[in-house]
Amino acid sequence: MNWLRKERWPWWQAGLLLGLLNMFAFYTANYYLSVSTTFSRAAGMIVGLVTPAHVAANAYWQMVKPILDWQFMLVLGIPIGAYLAARLSQRAITFSTMLPEMWVNRFGTSPARRWVLGLLGGILVGFGARFADG
């Protein structure tokens, strides 16, 4: 289990393992790993708390039902797994150690700026993923 305690894994090892996990998921359950649909379903659940009639009448949420499924559990498990991996590697979990020099030169070290730009980038990636159907 010492391989789990490495401070960093090479990108190709992590990518290879993720690809093998995706193949395993596809061959055993006939599903591939994806998360963008889960965010649409979560939005449907949240909107359904306020206006259930809107969700019931919405054509998209008729096709993609706002339900808790295995993908939702996968999305919940991602941050939990990331935290556990960081703890196993015994690496200090601080945001200051994650700033690349290029970022600091371009944007500075402001935590607020990092949060805003990270959120905007995440929204764009999520939109692109949903636009491309997954």
Domain that holds residue 118: 95-134
Query: Is 70 domain-assigned?
Result: no
- What does the pLDDT profile of the chain (134 residues) look like in tens digits? 676 666 677 889 889 988 999 899 899 988 888 888 888 899 999 999 999 999 999 999 999 899 998 889 989 999 998 888 878 877 666 655 677 888 889 988 888 998 899 899 999 998 888 888 76
Query: Is 134 domain-assigned?
Result: yes
Distance CA 60, CA 40 (A): 9
Asked whether the whole model's pTM tops 0.85, one would answer no
Quickly tell me which residue has 């054509």 as its tokens: 59
Report helix, strand or coil for 22.
helix
Query: Is 12 domain-assigned?
Result: no
Q: Identify whether the C-beta of residue 34 lies closer than 8 Å to the C-beta of residue 71.
A: yes
Query: Is 133 domain-assigned?
Result: yes
Query: Is 19 domain-assigned?
Result: no
- The Cβ-side half-sphere exposure at 81, using a 13 Å CA radius, reads 7
Query: Is 116 domain-assigned?
Result: yes
Q: How many domains does the chain have?
A: 1
- Helices 36-50, 70-88: crossing angle, 10 deg rounding: 120
